């Protein structure tokens, strides 16, 4: 009997932290099912992604350690998916610790450590430098600094 592992995530701006988590989860069993949050589900959580759902799903499905990528459309589907795929272990990153303990009545629940120094949130912060609004703010600040410097000329 195969040991099925289940996880979920948005996987926006896919990075090595995502890959590390998926590889560690796959090492816990034989078959890894990954739910990728749809854009609509993310909107309901107040999250906006940069990469569209269809692309994120294709990226996750192409990862060697992922056996099946499915859409995550609601919080409630976790129990349904545990039953549908005969899941042995439900795993998430440690930042979710305690949030899914109620699933222990259906399968083992594990929380794995995150990769230090990388997250989609931090990448989005770095990308803010390229945002037009931020560039306009920098231009305005440069104008103010230039005006101050001219006073001393």
Question: For the segment 5-58, what is each residue's pLDDT rounded down to a tens digit?
Answer: 999 999 988 878 889 999 999 999 999 999 999 999 999 998 888 889 999 999
54 and 104 assigned to the same domain: yes
Are residues 134 and 152 both part of a single domain? Answer: yes
Size of the chain, expressed as the number of residues it contains: 153
Q: Does the pLDDT value for residue 1 go beyond 60? A: yes
Q: 8 has which bridge partners?
A: 35
Q: Are residues 45 and 13 in the same domain?
A: yes
Write down the catalytic residue from 3, 47, 99, 139. 47
Are both 33 and 78 inside the same structural domain? yes
* Joined tokens for residue 46: 């107040």
45 classed as catalytic? yes
Domain count, the chain: 2
Which structural domain range is residue 125 located in?
A: 119-153
Query: Coil, helix or strand for 33?
Result: strand
76 and 123 share a domain?
Answer: no
**Does one domain contain both 40 and 112?**
yes
**Predicted TM-score (pTM) of this structure:** 0.77
Q: Name the catalytic one among 3, 45, 99, 139.
A: 45
Q: Annotated catalytic, 47?
A: yes
pLDDT digits (tens, 9 = 90+) for 47-103: 888 889 999 999 999 999 999 999 999 999 999 999 999 999 999 998 899 999 999
């Amino acid at each position: 009997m195969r040991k099925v592992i289940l996880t979920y995530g948005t996987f926006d701006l896919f990075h090595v932290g995502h890959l590390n988590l998926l590889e560690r989860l796959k090492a816990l069993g034989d078959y890894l099912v990954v739910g990728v949050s749809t854009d609509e589900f993310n909107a309901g959580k107040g999250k906006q992604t940069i990469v569209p759902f269809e692309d994120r799903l294709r990226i996750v499905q192409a990862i060697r350690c992922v056996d099946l990528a499915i859409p995550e459309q609601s919080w409630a589907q976790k129990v349904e998916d545990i039953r549908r795929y005969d899941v042995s272990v439900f795993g998430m990153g440690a930042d979710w610790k305690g949030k899914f303990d109620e699933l222990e009545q259906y399968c083992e629940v594990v929380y794995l450590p995150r990769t230090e120094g990388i997250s989609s949130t931090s990448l989005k912060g770095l990308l803010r430098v390229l945002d037009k609004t931020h560039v306009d703010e920098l231009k305005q600040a440069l104008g103010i600094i230039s005006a101050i410097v001219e006073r001393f000329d």
